[in-house]
Structure 1
């Protein structure tokens, strides 16, 4: 079976036509479909994301023009994941087994972790958290975002600097930084559990480059401190996360995505914002940036958003429209704590 698509070198956004050949449980990549086949190499899958993207051990990836065949997606799955895929194919016996697994897992996790959120966070594997964040973003993206209109060079500049900040802060692996035009949330930035970080065009247009980097530092802090995972556990429940991890994918992951969306609507706690602001200042300092830009970013957003909505400062702070400040309570206090001044 041959699969056509585009092949990308590590950390490159420029694709080139390529083909994958999938046969006898092995995968071959031909980066020169019109050639004599001399460049064809065998590749090993590390991850399949969505229905079209395959990541290889070298950091390269392949974007298929059409949906990947189920057999190829199974190559990247563990035995447990394949067993769960088997369970999700309808039959009375499989449904009974799946029901017993769900009930047992639900009961076990409720008993073990319902009252111990901090313990759960401390022991929750990072790769599971990243998978949850990636899945939640895939569900959330068509609801909330359109393609970004920011130039490729500016996005690459911000992405590279964000990776340097993550490295300086010791955040490994560095989460992806994505850019999207918001449908309804305006100037905003979101950190999904374990990444990615998503910045809206509206936020980038409102801020200087250094102020955008301060916002990125703030969102990196949320990921490092696992604030999003805290919030999702509160909204979705530990038992739901357990079911996702053990593979009841379709309905349960939809519930998690709803939990992440609900988390965004509810906003982050005041303590989480204080922690993320303080850690963002440290990240900016560690990566050679002026930590005062965080206060400037907060103040700029405060002024721009209030002006756009033609509201007084009191009304702007009190009203609940969807922008970065509205989901982060106490922004006056935060500006002052970050070293800025509020008129």
Structure 2
């Protein structure tokens, strides 16, 4: 038994580590000697061992059937005949390879980017079109209840005005696929309109008041009809939940996970692609029905002016608060400006230009 190596040994009885020496008995068995004078001797078979892989600066260790443990001070000796040794040794070498580490980092980054850029949106698109109608109605009803409870109040518009808008919508926009048009006072939404998966378009009183003509309202309804036809709200909600699931998989923190899909559908903004698709749908529909698309551009311009007015007031309030706050708050405002660069919505100016370009093409 000339082949031996120094190790740290835990006997499985007490937690105290022992300086020990292991010897090769034969190709099936090793012997462990420990104690003040190495008077305690134990034998173990390779078949009863569980190899714990090395990682970084950690050395390999062996878990034994009697809760004992052998920790090596260096790599496994050549004479150590554990069958899985070669496989683990190869893995440990790869883990310490700078080339593999760099490749792994690049691969993970690219995979994450591809998942966010194409994987989640593609899966959301597929799932959205596979959901049965009753499931969409249930989700839409929950989203509508959530919206009515926290963001809107009963409409103050005259019933006759509401019915007139609905009638024009059926005649010029619905094209045999009518949605339920619901009017609400947008306490937490302002001038806005939303398309929900239960085939409902919610229009706020503030939006109707902002419009200068019925044609402008019809342009907005045509835009929301496009969102309904393409199931954009459902796709965006599913994508939002997919992002949250990816975040949890990476960090293990589920505190920011949306409590429900309806909440995700309302809190998630439409992507640039979805907004452009809905705009194009509205423009083609208005052109077919003989409604001048310039009405849609005019409304977008007015809506943009309204938003700029609200933002200027908000910026003024924030500026006053910033003078009283600490440097931490100032840093937060910088981060807000950085995040604005990644805003997914097309700028209103781009959307207006899209309408103007469409109008020019139709006149050729």
Does 2:169 match 1:162? Answer: yes
Instruction: Tell me the residue number matched to 1:331.
Output: 348
Determine if contact 2:152/2:189 at 8 Å carries over to the other structure.
no
Which of structures 1 and 2 has the larger relative contact order (alpha carbons within 8 angstroms, sep 6+)?
A: 1
Note closer, same or farther for the CA distance 1:134–1:287 as it changes in structure 2 (3 Å cut): farther
Question: Which one of 192, 196, 201 corresponds to residue 196 of structure 2?
Answer: 192
> Take 2:160 and 2:357, find their aligned partners in 1: how far apart are those partners?
31
1:140 shift after superposition = 1.9
Q: How many correspondences in the alignment?
A: 201
Does 2:292 match 1:290? Answer: yes
1:285 shift after superposition = 2.3
> Take 1:309 and 1:259, find their aligned partners in 2: how far apart are those partners?
24
Q: Tell me, what secondary structure is at the counterpart of 2:203? A: strand
Does 2:210 match 1:206? Answer: yes
Note closer, same or farther for the CA distance 1:151–1:311 as it changes in structure 2 (3 Å cut): same
Q: Tell me, what secondary structure is at the counterpart of 1:167? A: coil
Alignment of 1:214-233 (within 5 A): 214-233=219-238
Instruction: Tell me the residue number matched to 2:187.
Output: 183
Instruction: Tell me the residue number matched to 2:275.
Output: 273
1:142 shift after superposition = 1.2
Alignment of 1:49-64 (within 5 A): none
Does 2:266 match 1:261? Answer: yes
Instruction: Tell me the residue number matched to 1:66.
Output: none
Unpaired stretches in structure 1, ≥5 consecutive residues: 1-112, 241-251, 313-318, 321-325
1:289 shift after superposition = 1.8
Unpaired stretches in structure 2, ≥5 consecutive residues: 1-118, 246-256, 315-335, 338-342, 359-364
How big is the alpha-carbon RMSD for the aligned residues of Structure 1 and Structure 2? Answer: 3.3
1:129-158, CA deviations, whole angstroms, 9 ceiling, x for partnerless residues? 233112210122110111111111111011
> Take 2:306 and 2:126, find their aligned partners in 1: how far apart are those partners?
41
Q: Tell me, what secondary structure is at the counterpart of 2:139? A: helix
1:305 shift after superposition = 3.4
Relative to the length of structure 1, the TM-score reads: 0.52
Note closer, same or farther for the CA distance 1:332–1:281 as it changes in structure 2 (3 Å cut): same
1:54-87, CA deviations, whole angstroms, 9 ceiling, x for partnerless residues? xxxxxxxxxxxxxxxxxxxxxxxxxxxxxxxxxx
Note closer, same or farther for the CA distance 1:122–1:257 as it changes in structure 2 (3 Å cut): closer
1:308 shift after superposition = 5.4
> Take 2:349 and 2:206, find their aligned partners in 1: how far apart are those partners?
21
Q: Which moved more, 1:125-134 or 1:205-214?
A: 125-134
Relative to the length of structure 2, the TM-score reads: 0.49
> Take 1:207 and 1:276, find their aligned partners in 2: how far apart are those partners?
19
Determine if contact 2:173/2:221 at 8 Å carries over to the other structure.
no
Question: Which one of 293, 297, 302 corresponds to residue 304 of structure 2?
Answer: 302
Determine if contact 1:232/1:260 at 8 Å carries over to the other structure.
yes
> Take 1:281 and 1:221, find their aligned partners in 2: how far apart are those partners?
10
1:340 shift after superposition = 7.5
Note closer, same or farther for the CA distance 1:310–1:122 as it changes in structure 2 (3 Å cut): closer
Determine if contact 1:215/1:294 at 8 Å carries over to the other structure.
yes
Note closer, same or farther for the CA distance 1:166–1:237 as it changes in structure 2 (3 Å cut): farther
Q: Which has the larger radius of gyration?
A: 2
Question: Which one of 137, 141, 154 corresponds to residue 134 of structure 1?
Answer: 141
Q: Tell me, what secondary structure is at the counterpart of 1:116? A: helix
> Take 2:344 and 2:198, find their aligned partners in 1: how far apart are those partners?
19
1:110-138, CA deviations, whole angstroms, 9 ceiling, x for partnerless residues? xxx97733322332223422331122101
Instruction: Tell me the residue number matched to 1:149.
Output: 156
Determine if contact 2:124/2:236 at 8 Å carries over to the other structure.
no
Note closer, same or farther for the CA distance 1:338–1:223 as it changes in structure 2 (3 Å cut): same
1:302 shift after superposition = 1.4
> Take 1:328 and 1:163, find their aligned partners in 2: how far apart are those partners?
28
> Take 1:311 and 1:340, find their aligned partners in 2: how far apart are those partners?
32
Determine if contact 1:270/1:330 at 8 Å carries over to the other structure.
no
